[in-house]
Amino acid sequence: MPDITDELRTERWCAGLRYSAARAIEPEERMALEGQVQRLGHRLSVAIACAPVAALVPVLVMFLLPGTLGFRWLDLTVVFALVLAAVAIPTLLVMHARRAWRERRAFEVDLEVGEAECFEGVLEANDVLDEEQKQLLDARLLVPQPGAPQRLDVLPESGCVIVRAPNRPPSFLPVMIAEVAAGPSYAMRVEMSPEMAWIDGAPKARFLRRALNHHERAEIDAHIRHLRRPGMLVALWAVWLSVWAVAWTFSPGDVSVYVRTRWPLVLVQVVVLTSVVLTYARALHLARRLERDTHTGWALTLERTPEGEDGETPAAVQSVPIDAPEVFAPDEPGRCVEFLPHSRAVWSEQGRPARWRNLRRAT
């Protein structure tokens, strides 16, 4: 499948700042990168060496134990704990090694490229900071002053900010780089009639609309495909349902006995897999609403006049999980946002893309 970013014009954002330019990494930063690659290589070697040892030690302990410890329940508990350790600990070490290998490879690519991407912008006093921006403020990478120029230097492949501190070598802090469709350089907004959009109890509020450009519609299509794509949990649900259907077809009596005698285990399976189905159904429902947004082709903005009943200035945002876009809530005080009419998904906040938008995740 071709990369969606090859079919549309995109722009990159990080922590609410827009990509501005690239610069060559400095010699001190290159030395820090090389040191990071060496540390990750050492971590990878240790994890690979320890994985088989972690699998063999519980097995050896099991053979060295006496035939019984005096109680059957104690024997079963010890055997279960040793088997669990022999499986879980090597698995965790393998996952740790895989993560170290991927991080090392990303830093190696950054060394080969030899560039850092610069993200610049300002943060205003009424901006609602997310957890990543708060972390960057704590690390003194963002200036805690409204309207002050902000800048982040980010390694493109590893997605890490270069942290420069006095009398200390550079270090690296991971961040999220979001790639979104480029919005229009100029957009004409037309006021909608009160018969089409209104808020009860707020007669001074009005809605403006603008047309989404081709790139923005293509981004929504990418999110729709991502929401409709069944994940690993949905595949496991289908396998589980198929196994039960085959068992019921060939031996319904044994299945009935199993359900009666093991009903707590069956109940847990039903609850877990029902939640998986409901989550996927919710994603499909959201995809249908986003598809209606692409057909309508509008982005709406709420404006409140100063003479409004509450004297509030704009609109509101209520955060929900990342797989579901943020929901526009016009009855809450906050800042002016742009949202999609059918899904009510926030599209942009004061000129910045909403946090759920990221083509890298969707593809």
pLDDT in tens, 129-168: 888 999 999 888 998 888 899 999 999 999 999 888 777 7
What one-letter code names the amino acid at 20? S
Q: What residues contact residue 303 under an 8 Å CB cut-off, 6+ apart?
A: 205, 206, 207, 208, 314, 336
For the chain, what is the domain count?
3
Kindly state whether residues 224 and 361 are assigned to the same domain: yes
**Which pLDDT score, from 0 to 100, does residue 117 have?**
94
Cross-strand partners of 237:
none
Verify that 265 and 137 share a domain, yes or no. no
Pair 52, 157 in one domain: no
Q: Are 20 and 30 in the same domain?
A: no
What do you get for the CA distance between the two ends of the chain, in Å?
9
Listed as ranges, residues in the chain with pLDDT below 70 are 1-7, 192-205, 304-335
Tell me what pLDDT residue 191 has: 75
- Which of 333, 56, 30 is closest to 155 using CA atoms? 30
- State the residue for tokens 């350089």: 185
Domain-ending residue, one of 73, 93, 111: 111
Q: Give the integer Cα–Cα distance in Å for 111 and 104.
A: 11
Q: What is the pLDDT of residue 305?
A: 57
**CA 15, CA 334: separation in Å to the nearest integer?**
19
Together in a domain, 283 and 355: yes
Say if residue 189 is in the same domain as residue 159. Answer: no
pLDDT at 263: 82
Please report, to the nearest 10 degrees, the dihedral formed by the alpha carbons of residues 318, 320, 325, 326 taken in order: 10
The boundaries of the domain holding residue 152 are: 1-24+114-182
Of 196, 132, 181, the C-alpha closest to 159 is 132
| 200 and 254 in a common domain | yes
* Residue 139: predicted pLDDT: 87
Among 58, 92, 111, residue at a domain's last position: 111
Q: Are residues 143 and 11 in the same domain?
A: yes
Are 1 and 150 within one domain? yes
Same structural domain, 153 and 302: no
Other CB atoms within a 10 A radius of the CB of residue 164 amount to 16
- Residue 121 main-chain phi, psi, to 5 deg: 165, -165
CA-only gyration radius of the chain, Å: 27
Domain co-membership, 91 together with 222 = no
Q: Which amino acid is at 41?
A: G
Contact by Cβ (8 Å): 345, 325: yes
pLDDT for the residue numbered 66: 78
- Distant-in-sequence, close-in-space partners of 27: CB < 8 Å, separation ≥ 6: none
Picking from 79, 111, 143, the residue at the C-terminal end of a domain is 111
The verdict on 100 and 139 lying in the same domain is: no
